[in-house]
Amino acid sequence: MLAVDGRGALPGGLRSLTVRPADRIAARRGRDQPSFAMIAIDRHHGAMDTVDPDADRVGAASVEVAGTIGDRGGPSAWREPGAWKVRYGSRRLYDRRLSRRDERWPPPARMLAALFRHPGAVLGALGEQQPVEQDGRQLHRSVQAMLALTGRVGPRRALGGSEEVDPSVMRAELRRLTAMSMPIRTDVHVTGRRIPGPEGTLDIPVRVYRQFGRGVSIPGSSRPGPPVIVYFHGGGWVVGDLDTHDASCRMLAAASGCMVVSAGYRLAPEWPFPAAVDDAMAAYAWVRERAGELGADPRRVGVMGDSAGGNLAAVVSQLSAKESLPAPTAQCLVYPALDFRLGTASIRDCGDGFFLTREAIEYYRRTYVPSERDWLDPRASPLLAADLGALPPTLVVTAGFDPLRDEGEAYAKALATAGVPVVHRCCDDQVHGFMGMGFIDDTYALATEVCEAMGRLMRRSGHFDAPDHAVR
């Protein structure tokens, strides 16, 4: 990465870069001296990020850029009297006033968002004002308020799992909860279809997500389509489906700039291990074969999943070579379940009171993999695989107050030891499932960051710089 402030050296790949003070904007802000934007420019793709936080919010500097700005198509600029200004894609992602234009908020989600913008009032009413701290981490106050409130009045059937509750009831409860948890992106085109499952089994339901304006092929053009991400939903291999993760996949398509194929799979206890693995492999193979027909780039096919879906994404990456399939371009594992032995410190320390409990994990484990002998199978516990050296560039995302935190960290370290380019990002103040908690502003922004990072990783697959992507 290069840092340029308008008075520094011209970075490679650009013919000109001019930064001029936006006097009218500075005056409007009451500043005597105009400020300058600091731009971070990726040497390979020219992706631009504003470093000065003020510049991204209000456009404190105007920038004129000529040259190639990478496969995002460059920043979109518009004319104002006296200057060109650059509009950064990240501003539309993170400025709530702009992004809400492309969102539809269900009334319950809107009410929850308003409620948890005042966590102090919620916690005060519940008599739980003290911050929650563990191992030097402090739980986000709005997340703490959400946990406190759901602990008093929230449903437990979809959160904990119990042999006393029919799985179909748990699934219906989770659908109801997710319908009120996330805004719905309206700038994404969604189509559903069924694809062949493994031989002799049921067809697999999939949904294809594409942000409007992306992936439309132009006759005679040599420009490839967007990368495509095969997404596997979470839910302990027992609950969850295409509906529960619809809003998350819409956000992923919009924030990453990639096409997204969300793949369903057979659930336990009706279909125990390894049915989910077989379906995940079949879905990945189908996308690999049909990516061009979908309008995506068949050379850039990645995998991503959360929780149980992160487990399946990791397994697909490991098995692709054995199945004579091209390895994924990249993989993103979001608070993944990777070790069925359940012997980590985070399982012990965060196993109660932080949304996902040890009791629930044990229920999902014995429901999905009834035989203890299979707990050590790498298709169930990918952390135990003997050889990780052939895996693709990886993004591992964990949460500080998640029982599965240490498994993700251990996998990232194992990948790094095997020579795989990997980034580990721990969201210290979050809990398991935060990717679906769009009613908390900071949590929704973190989820957007994860999706955007996966899009960048997919695009940089041919130019991966290990020094810039060390384990953190």
Query: Alpha helix locations (H) across 341-459?
Result: 345-349, 358-368, 405-417, 441-459
Which residues make beta-bridge pairs with 421? Answer: none
Q: Give the number of other Cβ atoms within 10 Å of residue 361's Cβ.
A: 21
Residues recognised as catalytic: 307, 402, 432
Query: Hey, what amino acid is at 27?
Result: A
Cα–Cα distance measured from residue 285 to residue 263, given in angstroms and rounded to the nearest whole number: 12
Ranges of beta strands (E only) in 39-167 are 39-41, 48-50, 61-67, 76-80, 83-87, 103-104, 133-134, 137-138
**Contact yes or no for 109/181 (Cβ under 8 A):** yes
Query: Scanning the structure block, which residue is given the tokens 């608070």?
Result: 335
Quote the tokens at residue 161: 């799992």
Report which residue type is found at 425.
Answer: R
Cβ atoms of 397 and 415 within 8 Å: the answer is: no
Measuring CA to CA, which residue among 215, 219, 241 is closest to residue 229? 215
The rounded distance, in Å, linking the Cα atoms of 396 and 361 is 20
Q: Which helix (H) or strand (E) holds 209?
A: strand 204-211
Burial annotation 79-115 (CB, 10 A radius, 16+ → b, else e)? eeeebebbebbbbebbeeeebeebbebbeebeebbeb
Place of tokens 């309008």: 295
3-state secondary structure of 65: strand
> Tokens 């308003």 map to which residue?
114
**Element holding 115 (H helix, E strand):** helix 107-116
> Is the C-alpha dihedral spanning 403, 392, 447, 246 positive or negative?
negative
Nearest CA among 178, 406, 400, 433 for reference residue 306: 433
